[in-house]
Structures are given as C-alpha cells and as structure tokens.
C-alpha cells in the first residue's frame, strides 16, 4: 500500500468509528507488548488479581495480538465517554458511573461489529472486535496508540476527555497509519493514591484488587466481604480515584443514549433496595453491568453497608 492509501484507509476507519458515536479513536501496529510483560507478571505473582483467575489464562495471546488473531497487523482503539449528566445523590449507596445505563460490552461491541462488517464488505479486511471480551491488554494499547496514558489511579486518561470512558478494539489484518505513544502526565500529583479509602493503589498504576472496592463489589463471589472495614457506601463499583483526578474536571456528559440512567437509579436508597426481590432485580437491571454482581452480590454488599449504618 502507498502512504496515500494508508492515510485514506486510516481516515475512513476513523470516520466510521466516530460516526458510531465513539469519543476518539487511535491506531497502533500489532506487536508483542514486551515492555508491559514484567509489570503484568509481577501483578499476577503478587496475587493482585485476587480470585480473577481468568487473568492468568492465555498470557501468550494477552501479550501479543498476533497470537490472538493470526495475520493481525493493526489495533484500532476506540473509546466512549459515559460521564452522566446527573449523578446519584451522595447519601444513597453509590453505583459506579459506568454502570448507570446499558452494559457497555453490548453497546460498544455492536458498534464495533458494524464498522468491522463494513470494512469486510468494502476492503475485504478481516479481523475481530473486542470489548473486554478476550485477553487483550486494553490500557497498554491505549498508551501505545497515543489515546492517553495509564494514570497513577490505574485508569487510562485521555488528555481532553479525562478517564470516564470505556474502551474496545478492532484487531485487523490491514496496515494503517499509527499514532505516537502517549506521555504520562500525572506529574507530582498523588490525589488518587491519597483518596483511595482502602489503600488499594499500592504503587502508581498498580491496583491490589483484593482491597479495591470495585473488585469487592463486582467480581468477588464469596458471601461475605472481610477484606475491608467499610464499603464507603459503594454498592457497585467505585469511582473515588477518578472523581478526585484533576483530568476529570472538564468531563462532559455522554451523548450515548444507552448510557442514560436506568429506572429509579437516582432514588435507590437502602430502603428502596430492600424492596427488590430477585425477580424484580432481574427485570429492572437486565442488560446492565449490575447483572455481573447479580442479585446475591448486590444484597451481600448492601448487608455490609446496612450493618455499617446500623439499619
Ligand atoms: C482486571 C480489571 C479490573 C480489576 C483490576 C484493575 C486494574 N487496574 O488492573 C478491577 C476489578 C479492580 C477493575 C476495576 C475497575 N475497572 Co477494570 N478492568 C480490568 C481488565 C479486565 C484488565 C486490566 C488488567 O489487565 N489489569 C492488570 C494490570 C497489571 O494491567 P494494566 O492495568 O493494564 O496495567 C499496566 C500498567 O499499569 C503498566 N505498568 C505498571 N507499572 C509499570 C511500570 C513500567 C515500567 C511499565 C513499562 C508499565 C507499567 O503495565 C501494566 C501491564 O503490565 C480491563 C479490560 C482489559 N481487558 O484490559 C478492565 C478495565 C481496565 N476496567 C475498566 C474500568 C472502567 C474499571 C473501573 C473504573 C470500574 C469502576 N468504576 O468500578 C475500576 C477502576 C479501578 C482502578 N482504579 O483501576 C476500563 C478502564 C477504562 C479506563 N479509562 O481506563 C477497562 C479498560 C474495561 C473497558 N473495556 O473499558 N478492573
Ligand atoms: S476504585 Fe476505589 S477502591 Fe479501587 S483503587 Fe480506586 S478509589 Fe481505591
Ligand atoms: S489523581 Fe493525579 S496522580 Fe492520580 S491519575 Fe489523576 S493526575 Fe494522575
């Protein structure tokens, strides 16, 4: 391909992605993620993945998209802002902002597949779409492609959009024009590390999941949460280390209707939660991220929140 045709194809993919409502898109050449292997290996060795044993699987594929998708040449990184226009009142049990509306896996995957199908039809390109659905190291690809840097809070930060976005990728067999790796811009700031109530950020960018309220409320399967003294009023996920980040000061509300808050989310007091039985819960929250914790997971966390409040 000539430089001109690379440029044309890259611009075409960019406009297809942005037409789907994504906030930004960047491109990286497929290669092994050599510089990330030591930190990832250490993270696993220290058991910072807690009981997420799926993080131990398919390491060869996780660190090299060419093993995951044979013939792959490019990673297309797409992000979508989910920052809500209105937030839950602080006194009710808090749901992380990414979980206010429809499950992002479904929203992003559908859009990425639309783009992929068009590329298949127009150019005979082949590839796969991923949204946290397979062993892909999404944040490192965000860094390499120039989308943003991995902040001390462990989240990818976009210089203009902050970190309230979710991400997905197309891994395709066509060459494109690639971005330059992003430069870390946290500087001497330590706000997230100091604000994390459970001290789960054990080093800049390194999260000990066992202590992280996001892990404990979403991924942990046991019937009781013993690892932390308090839930800090988090019933599903946690945004504390993002809320304090100066790069999120200018966050703009999402334009994706699927991310609008479901049902009576703004009024979910402890009492209102108590009125839900499993059937109501499943009916109300079908298709939302809350199904990952499920009725039992949410009830388990609420039990701890209630015990702390003595209600
Ligand atoms: C496992 C996981 C979790 C775990 C662990 C969190 C973590 N930070 O690793 C738990 C359950 C705690 C979690 C929580 C959350 N998650 Co999560 N999670 C993932 C998942 C599935 C894998 C991340 C992973 O590989 N972690 C392992 C660590 C070791 O890798 P890493 O974070 O990429 O870190 C690299 C750098 O830190 C770097 N590094 C560190 N030190 C050094 C030093 C040197 C010298 C170098 C070169 C590199 C380097 O190397 C690491 C790789 O080795 C991704 C999806 C995916 N498939 O990638 C979503 C993902 C990261 N999560 C996401 C979200 C939204 C969240 C929450 C915000 C949800 C919430 N509100 O509750 C929280 C945020 C918690 C936090 N502060 O990070 C988004 C993040 C979007 C963004 N802007 O960054 C992702 C990308 C999902 C998506 N598709 O949108 N998550
Ligand atoms: S998500 Fe919450 S508990 Fe986890 S590292 Fe950030 S502030 Fe700490
Ligand atoms: S709060 Fe400060 S240190 Fe933490 S991610 Fe944001 S800029 Fe970086």
The DSSP string of 36-74 is GHHHHHHHHHTTTTTT-GGGGTTHHHHT-HHHHSTT--E
pLDDT for position 4 = 77
| Ligand 1 binding pocket includes 79 (Cβ within 6 Å) | no
Distance between CA atoms of 238 and 242, rounded to whole angstroms?
9
The DSSP string of 247-269 is GGTT------GGGSPPTTGGG--
What length does the chain have?
A: 311
3 pLDDT band (50/70/90 cuts)? confident
Please say if the pLDDT value at position 71 is more than 80: yes
What is the Å distance from ligand 3's center to 180 Cα? 22
277 pLDDT band (50/70/90 cuts)? very high
User: How big is the CA angle at 52 (ends 48 and 56), to the nearest 5 degrees?
Assistant: 80
What is the Å distance from ligand 3's center to 164 Cα? 13
What is the Å distance from ligand 3's center to 149 Cα? 11
pLDDT for position 309 = 85
Please say if the pLDDT value at position 272 is more than 70: yes
Please say if the pLDDT value at position 311 is more than 70: no
State mean pLDDT over 206-224.
96
pLDDT for position 105 = 98
| Ligand 2 binding pocket includes 242 (Cβ within 6 Å) | no
Place of tokens 């995957």: 109
- What is the number of the ligand closest to the CA of 211? 2
State mean pLDDT over 276-303.
96
State mean pLDDT over 20-34.
98
Mean predicted lDDT score pLDDT of the chain: 96
| Ligand 1 binding pocket includes 215 (Cβ within 6 Å) | yes
State mean pLDDT over 259-276.
92
22 pLDDT band (50/70/90 cuts)? very high
What is the Å distance from ligand 2's center to 214 Cα? 6
Report the share of the chain in percent with pLDDT over 90.
94
Q: Which of 147, 167, 161 is nearest to 252 (CA)?
A: 161
State mean pLDDT over 197-219.
98
| Ligand 3 binding pocket includes 262 (Cβ within 6 Å) | no
> CB-based burial of residue 180 (10 Å sphere; 0-12 exposed, 13-18 middle, 19+ buried)?
exposed
Please say if the pLDDT value at position 136 is more than 80: yes
DSSP bridge pairs for 155: none
Q: Which of 49, 150, 153, 244 to mutate to test the pocket of ligand 2 (most atoms within 8 A of CB)?
A: 153
- What is the number of the ligand closest to the CA of 81? 1
Please say if the pLDDT value at position 164 is more than 70: yes
Q: Which of 66, 204, 77 is nearest to 141 (CA)?
A: 77
Q: What is the largest CA-CA distance in the chain?
A: 69
State mean pLDDT over 242-271.
95
35 pLDDT band (50/70/90 cuts)? very high
What is the Å distance from ligand 3's center to 17 Cα? 28
Measuring from atom 6 of ligand 3, which residue has the nearest CA?
245
143 pLDDT band (50/70/90 cuts)? very high
Measuring from atom 57 of ligand 1, which residue has the nearest CA?
132
């Amino acid at each position: 391909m000539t430089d001109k045709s690379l440029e044309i194809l890259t611009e075409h993919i960019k406009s297809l992605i942005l037409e789907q409502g994504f906030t930004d898109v960047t491109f990286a050449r497929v290669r092994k993620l050599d510089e990330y292997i030591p930190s990832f290996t250490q993270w696993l060795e220290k058991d910072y993945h807690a009981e997420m044993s799926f993080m131990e699987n398919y390491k060869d594929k996780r660190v090299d998209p060419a093993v995951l998708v044979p013939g792959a040449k490019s990673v297309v990184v797409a992000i979508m802002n989910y920052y809500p226009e209105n937030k839950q009142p602080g006194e009710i049990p808090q749901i992380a902002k990414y979980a206010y509306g429809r499950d992002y896996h479904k929203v992003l995957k559908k859009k990425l597949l639309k783009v992929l199908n068009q590329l298949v039809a127009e150019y005979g390109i082949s590839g796969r779409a991923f949204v946290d659905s397979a062993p892909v190291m999404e944040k490192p690809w965000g860094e390499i492609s120039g989308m943003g840097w991995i902040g001390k809070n462990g989240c990818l930060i976009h210089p203009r959009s902050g970190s309230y976005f979710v991400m997905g990728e197309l891994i395709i067999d066509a060459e494109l024009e690639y971005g330059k790796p992003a430069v870390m811009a946290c500087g001497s700031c330590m706000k997230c590390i100091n604000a994390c109530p459970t001290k789960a950020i054990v080093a800049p960018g390194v999260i000990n999941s066992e202590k992280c309220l996001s892990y404990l409320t979403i991924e942990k399967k046991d019937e009781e949460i013993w690892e932390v003294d308090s839930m800090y009023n988090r019933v599903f996920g946690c945004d504390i280390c993002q809320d304090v980040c100066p790069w999120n000061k200018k966050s703009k509300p999402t334009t994706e209707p699927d991310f609008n808050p479901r049902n009576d989310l703004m009024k979910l007091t402890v009492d209102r939660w108590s009125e839900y039985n499993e059937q109501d819960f499943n009916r109300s929250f079908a298709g939302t991220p809350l199904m990952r914790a499920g009725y039992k997971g949410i009830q388990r966390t609420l039990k701890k929140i209630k015990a702390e409040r003595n209600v």
